[in-house]
Amino acid sequence: MTTLDAHAPFVLDTHELGRRPGTSLRVHRVLPAPDGLTVGLASVPQTVELDCDLQLEAVMEGVYVGLATTVPVVAECARCLDPISTTVTVDLHELYVYDGSDADDGTREMDGDLLDLEPALRDGIALALPATLVCTPDCPGLCPECGARLADEPDHTHSQPIDPRWSALTGVATEATTTDEES
């Protein structure tokens, strides 16, 4: 494992917590949003700071971390491509095992008393980001033929071109309607 910098924004020093199982500590941190978080049409602005509430608990294997934050999201409507701003709530729980332990199942490992929150936070935000968002539940979207915004033009239509193979039948439908009206 690489040595963590105790002054890096995502690195948390658990020295104050100690290693006695059952001890806990509440921590409040303001962290920068991890760079490059985009899922589908939704992304987290890179200039955002995240107000994070952390609950640290010493357990036999290491430190159990609970993190809760609200993340601002910018996106485009999946139907009409209008810009959308919303938030998602991230509530993650992660076990960080003490360095030198036998955990090899993908569990995150501590570096002495230091742990790196960035990978867990990045994963938690990426999983919370919606793949698609719509500006309103009844957004009609865009016209598939010309791209006109259907919310601006509710009566927007195009004349349907008739397949030349079926064009001979257009007169039959008109004749049948006329015959029915005369009866």
Residue predicted with more confidence, 5 or 72:
72
Burial of 129 (0-12, 13-18, 19+ CB in 10 A): buried
b/e code 153-170 from CB counts within 10 Å (16+ = b): eeeeeeeeeeeeeeeeee
For residue 175, the model assigns a pLDDT of 59
Would you say residue 161 has pLDDT above 60? yes
Q: What is the pLDDT of residues 83-134, one digit of tens each?
A: 999 999 999 999 999 887 666 677 888 888 999 999 999 999 999 988 888 9
Would you say residue 169 has pLDDT above 80? no
For residue 180, the model assigns a pLDDT of 58
Q: What is the pLDDT of residues 103-113, one digit of tens each?
A: 667 788 888 89
Residue predicted with more confidence, 180 or 36:
36
Residue predicted with more confidence, 54 or 158:
54
Q: What is the DSSP string of 59-101?
A: -SSEEEEEEEEEEEEEEE-TTT--EEEEEEEEEEEEEEEPTT-
Q: Name the percent of the chain lying above pLDDT 90.
A: 48
Would you say residue 176 has pLDDT above 60? no
Query: Rounded to the nearest 5 degrees, what angle is found at the Cα of 78, between the Cα atoms of 148 and 158?
Result: 25
Average pLDDT rounded to a whole number, residues 150-178: 75
For residue 144, the model assigns a pLDDT of 85
Would you say residue 66 has pLDDT above 90? yes
Give pTM, 2 decimals. Answer: 0.74
For residue 125, the model assigns a pLDDT of 92
Q: What is the mean pLDDT of the chain?
A: 86
Q: CB–CB of 96/62 below 8 Å?
A: yes
Residue 171: strand, helix, or coil: helix
For residue 91, the model assigns a pLDDT of 95
